[in-house]
Structure 1
């Protein structure tokens, strides 16, 4: 069915916002879709290569303000990138990625062309926590280089991976970054307390980071991983330094997250810390 809808705003030749009877406002992207069109004109819904809703008023305004500053060819390219990400993740992306990643990549291109580089302090954690998103972000960076001839610095891979993770989990970037910062702090406490430098590419480091990440998720879901009093007492006697350090980490987590952390986390943290420090 060739549904005709009314244009509300032409953002450029390739992007329009239209009024839809069921979805209210909808963004339509397609080559030449806005060419010589104006508000009030009818347009075929099927003419768009990509359609998405922007229910959040702030995001809609951000998108409206952003588009005039971006080359029309780049909007087409963003379409290809988002299609690739959705395809590779095998699930629909939260629509806020249209605004957030377009905004991020447009400014990342300008930064890179001016040789202004942003370092990403969470790169090892991001690679460890979100391996699939990280791999797809590497592919995005390659696509940017192939299409535009711009080589993003390594730190950008991490930022793009976070945007992808945000779009598949519906977590905000702020929330994700706050948790990554907490994990980084916890790892630094381990290094300082045990007087070690942890190899960020080791399997045990990856296991520790994954465990801390899952522990944070369990805190938010009020989940327990079981009450093992005998095992706790045995570990306390056998590995007192690691057991005490595990409790130190738990107290930092409780303070940062402002929520209680289940006591049984100490058992599993002690095992991870013992394994890690033994090899270090």
Structure 2
């Protein structure tokens, strides 16, 4: 296998190199860049980890980020990202090296300064992405062991979103859009049914999960079957819940510009009727 040619030394432990098969890559290893100059050869057995940042903008972002953080912390972060990749049974987007490193470095700085940032989506994140949340909790624990800083639970939620973004290759902004939509829909339901749901209670979590699954099925164009007889029965027996279910599906369709299967109305009507029964 051909060696690497050093293109730019970011610090003693991180360099950007060129390989004839991989193109431009980021190589990491203790003292890897020490005493090295541009166009020097780097042996294939001299680095510990490698990742590819094919996007030129991301390479530039990473080069600007590294000088602002401690070299030992870079090594810790790459160990944590390696842990994430080992626990996820699918490829992760290399942008996580930039986004997560930047986020955690800033989170540690906030904690040291006594600044607390509330995570308004913690409950939804834990419910919607339990695997990512569990992995994020491990990351926070290992980070505490490595650098001696304990991040609050809200940061577990933020880190879980970074992990999910790296898996799905979707931005956290897209997730926030979905959460805002779900929050608005639940407010519509609360007003229409004259109920108030505790965000920590199982009824709220079940409702949020049902709405999330409706959105996912609509995005994936998954077909949902329901008997027309059942739809007519629910329409006649529970007109308030049926009409509200129709309104919710229309809101999802308009907000995300995707079709929602009519059968979703049936199952969500049943969910709303159970919700009313439990709150009477």
Band of TM-score, shorter chain: over 0.9
- Note if 1:100 corresponds to 2:99: yes
8 Å Cα contact 1:97-1:164 kept in structure 2 = yes
* 2:197/2:203 contact within 8 Å kept: no
Distance 1:81 1:268 in 2: 41
Deviation readout 1:240-272 (Å, 9 max, x if unpaired): 222122112112112211223222211111122
Partner of 2:6: 7
Match of 2:186 in 1: 187
Residue by residue over 1:198-231, the C-alpha shift from the partner in whole angstroms, topping out at 9 and shown as x without a partner, is 2334444333222222221222233331253211
Q: Which moved more, 1:240-249 or 1:24-33?
A: 240-249
Q: Partners of 2:55 and 2:187 in 1: how far apart?
A: 38
Per the alignment, residue 231 of structure 1 pairs with 230
TM alignment of 1:123-162, pairs within 5 A = 123-162=122-161
Count of paired positions: 279
**Post-superposition CA distance 1:182-204 (Å, at most 9, x none):** 12221222222222222334444
Give the Cα–Cα distance (whole angstroms) in 2 for the partners of residues 196 and 45 of structure 1. Answer: 63
**What residue ranges of structure 1 are gaps of 5+ in the alignment?**
none
Matches within 5 A, 1:39-188: 39-188=38-187
Change (3 A) 1:272 1:16: same
Q: What is the Cα-based RMSD across aligned positions, in Å? A: 1.7
Aligned equivalents of 1:43, 1:247: Cα separation in 2: 62
What is the rounded CA distance, in whole Å, between the counterparts of 1:261 and 1:38 in structure 2?
A: 58
Q: In 1, distance between residues paired with 2:235 and 2:189?
A: 17
1:260 aligns with 2:269: no
Q: What corresponds to 1:33 in structure 2?
A: 32
CA distance in 2 between partners of 1:109 and 1:23 (Å):
34
TM-score, normalised to structure 1, is: 0.93
Q: Normalising by the residue count of structure 2, what TM-score does the alignment of the two structures yield? A: 0.93
